[in-house]
Amino acid sequence: MSKGYSGKILRVDLSGQRIWTEMPEEEEKGFYRTYWGGSCLGTYYLLKEVPPGTDPLSPENLLVFAGSVASGVSAPGLAKYAVITKSPMTNGVGVAMGDGFWGPELKACGYDGIVISGKADKPLYLFIDDEKAELKDASHIWGSETGNTVDAIKAELRDTKVKVACIGPAGENLVRYASIISDKQFVNLRAGVGAVMGSKNLKAIAVRGTQEVKTAHPERVLALAKDFEEHFLDNPVNKAVHDGGTAAFLGPLNAGGLVTSCNGRTTHFEGATKVGEAIAEPDRLDRRVSCYSCPAACKRIWHVKDNLNLDSQYGAPELEPLMAFCNGCMVDDVDSLFVSLERCTRYGLDPISAAGTIAFAMECYENGILTKDQTSGLDLKFGNGELLPELIGLISYKKGIGALLAEGSKRAAGELVNEKAGQYAMEVKGLELPPHDGRTKAMLGLAYAVAPTGPDELSVEHDTDYDENAPELFMEKAATLGIRKRIKATGLTLEKVSIMCSLQQVFSFMDALCLCKFSCVPCRYYSFTQVVDLMSAISGWEVSLWELMRLGERCLVMQRIFNLRQGLGVDQDCLPDRMHIPVSSGPQKGATLLKDEFDKAKQAYYRLRSWDEKTGMPSDEKLAELDLEWLTDN
């Protein structure tokens, strides 16, 4: 067994309330070096145990929490863990990465992951105390908000150091885009993982570990950690995030016309300038918050105005959720935005899908498809920030119009008897688009369409990190991948599709290794050489970048095959029609992702991946190359 791993997976059958431990390396030699962890390890279990046609909210679905060889090691950028399931949003593979302290604490319990199946007959929570795991009654906290749940479990266990990942009312009520929240402010954001957890009557997982994660070469790990701590501020993005948090990027991105606004009709919102300026006020910051063993301190706690009913422990707004509500719904009321985003964390709701679905409803309301009789009396016009907190509550508890919007924009459009409703749903595979616009960042737009997990702004590096305005440092770091000249952010050439394939594999292997994308290449501090050295120093294996790139491709192929089994084919690899219409106004007026150009790029992507252009199925030769022969009979 290599260092970095415990070699143990905790299995939990909620239906039978059984708990046992598996040691996968004993059954499949080379298991850990093939799948490594995170998103790849979780997808392995989905492929093995989730049959085609499984209802994501049924007991037959799995919910997998997975770390990797790096999880819990004392070095920056290693605090991530993955939650993997069949998504109730896309009906395909769903991955939601989390950060903070929960993942490292699970590793300190002596487990590389947890695989949960079945459904409990009453609310329960799982408590893992080092290697001892038990199910406890959660009836008394069922219905609680996420913060109250964390406090109640810590009090019950009489341990303030226990780490708690839980769902709120949105997950309990099976809102399809419910999230999982750990320790009040760290979020497994997308794919509806909280709804799957709620469908299993599992309120929370509390972990408390005291075991040290052993590494093969601790002195090399320490040297890399020290180098990061001393020099990470040399990287312009790391410095900007450390100084202002991720939300500080709202102003520059909006000024560049790069943010999907007014439900996709444009990519710029004048009111976002006001919001960006308000967020940048120095007296707003209370303190910075770091993840486990990391000095970057990307997250924020803000001072809260006395007139706002907010709990600051839920954390300050992050960039994508803020843009989704501000630009997507055209809201410039800072207090309303702050309250709305706090409510999403309090209730356990994905703010990106929530904002996207609300923007969809606003456009339906604007066009008479929804009326006040259907909206619980709410005036669903763009810019009406005052209604957002109430609407988030209605969605989380499935009351009034919230019951419809809790299904997401695609399913809500299907419920509305109007053929125009579907054109206002800005989604791919049923999952709402992130607010980074795919017309002004065309490589990202293609990734939104073809990513097995649905549209995710972290499925590939953004076009603007390699355009004419990008720092030279980014070009130097990407040269290892063969990216040696700058690209235009708009448009899709064959060269750009090839670059996208390489960058997508990088982001894919980072999700398998549970690496923070704000710490690593292709644009952040750790270089490719350092990432490879870090994985070698932890595991004791002689790791290469070639091996990690193969890991990234392996994970993408496994996820693609899972989706094909579940009925998601190439016809699902598309964008909303609006993404092929020129931007109507702002700095990027006229920018578009031409449909013919997009279709040609998608076919080129399949060919570069060795996937069948008509079916999307990876070739048998590709499966053999990636050590996935066991999938050739599908």
* Span 349-360, pLDDT tens digits: 999 999 999 999
Same domain, 352 and 331: yes
In this prediction, residue 279 carries a pLDDT of 87
At which of 383, 400, 432 does a domain end? 432
Same domain, 160 and 204: yes
The CA distance from 104 to 100, in Å, is 8
Whose tokens are 């939990």? That residue is 12
Interval 171-215: pLDDT, tens: 999 999 999 999 999 999 999 999 999 999 999 999 999 999 999
Same domain, 314 and 428: yes
Tell which residue, 240, 92, 119, 130, has the closest CA to residue 174.
Answer: 119
95 within some domain: yes
Tell me the angle at which helices 545-565 and 494-513 cross, rounded to the nearest 10 degrees: 90
Same domain, 538 and 621: yes
Structural domain boundaries enclosing 453: 442-574+594-631
- Residue 84, SS3? strand
3 within some domain: no
Mean pLDDT computed over 208-228: 97
Interval 455-511: pLDDT, tens: 999 999 999 999 999 999 999 999 999 999 999 999 999 999 999 999 999 999 999
Query: What's the angle, vertex CA 42, arms to CA 225 and CA 298, rounded to 5?
Result: 35
225 within some domain: no
Question: Dihedral of CA 500/426/250/181: which sign?
Answer: negative
The CA distance from 483 to 485, in Å, is 6
Lowest mean pLDDT among 77-86, 422-431, 516-525: 516-525
Tell which residue, 20, 77, 374, 98, has the closest CA to residue 221.
Answer: 77
How many domains are contained in the chain?
3
Same domain, 204 and 95: yes
Same domain, 387 and 468: no
- Residue 405, SS3? helix
**In which band, very low, low, confident or very high, does the pLDDT at 395 lie, cut at 50, 70 and 90?**
very high
Residue 1 has pLDDT above 70, yes or no: no
The CA distance from 240 to 579, in Å, is 30
- In which element (H, E) is residue 117 found? strand 113-117
Interval 2-23: pLDDT, tens: 799 999 999 999 999 999 999 9
Same domain, 447 and 428: no
Phi, psi dihedrals of residue 520, rounded to the nearest 5°: -120, 170
22 within some domain: yes
Cβ(164)–Cβ(145) under 8 Å?
Answer: no
Tally Cβ neighbours within 10 Å of residue 614: 10
The token pair at 456 is 């995710």
Same domain, 415 and 477: no
Cβ(127)–Cβ(77) under 8 Å?
Answer: no
308 or 415: which carries more pLDDT confidence?
415
Tell me, letter by letter, the H, E, C secondary structure of 24-67: HHHHCCCHHHHHCCHHHHHHHHHHHHCCCCCCCCCCCCCEEEEC
360 within some domain: yes
The CA distance from 329 to 382, in Å, is 6
Interval 65-93: pLDDT, tens: 999 999 999 999 999 999 999 999 999 99
Residue type, 83: V
Same domain, 410 and 483: no
Mean pLDDT computed over 438-449: 98
CATH number at residue 35: 3.60.9.10
Residues with Cβ < 8 Å from 49, sequence gap 6 or more? 62, 117
The CA distance from 128 to 205, in Å, is 8
In this prediction, residue 616 carries a pLDDT of 96
At which of 432, 455, 481 does a domain end? 432
Phi-psi region of 196 (alpha: psi -120 to 50; beta: other; left: phi over 0): alpha
Residue 148 has pLDDT above 90, yes or no: yes
Residue 634 has pLDDT above 60, yes or no: no
601 within some domain: yes
CA distances for 109 relative to 3, 72, 208, 211, 620, angstroms: 15, 10, 6, 6, 39
Report CA 569 to chain centroid distance, whole Å. Answer: 22
- Buried residues in 224-240 as b, exposed as e (16+ CB within 10 A): bbeebeeebeebebbee
Interval 305-339: pLDDT, tens: 877 888 899 999 999 999 999 999 999 999 999 99
Residue 525 has pLDDT above 60, yes or no: yes
The CA distance from 284 to 301, in Å, is 9
Lowest mean pLDDT among 125-129, 201-205, 233-237: 233-237
Length, in residues, of the chain: 634
307 within some domain: yes
Same domain, 374 and 454: no
**In which band, very low, low, confident or very high, does the pLDDT at 283 lie, cut at 50, 70 and 90?**
confident
Mean pLDDT computed over 36-54: 98
Mean pLDDT computed over 242-257: 94
Same domain, 278 and 401: yes
Same domain, 251 and 343: yes
Cβ(303)–Cβ(283) under 8 Å?
Answer: yes
Q: What is the DSSP code (8-state) at residue 1?
A: -
Residue 420 has pLDDT above 80, yes or no: yes
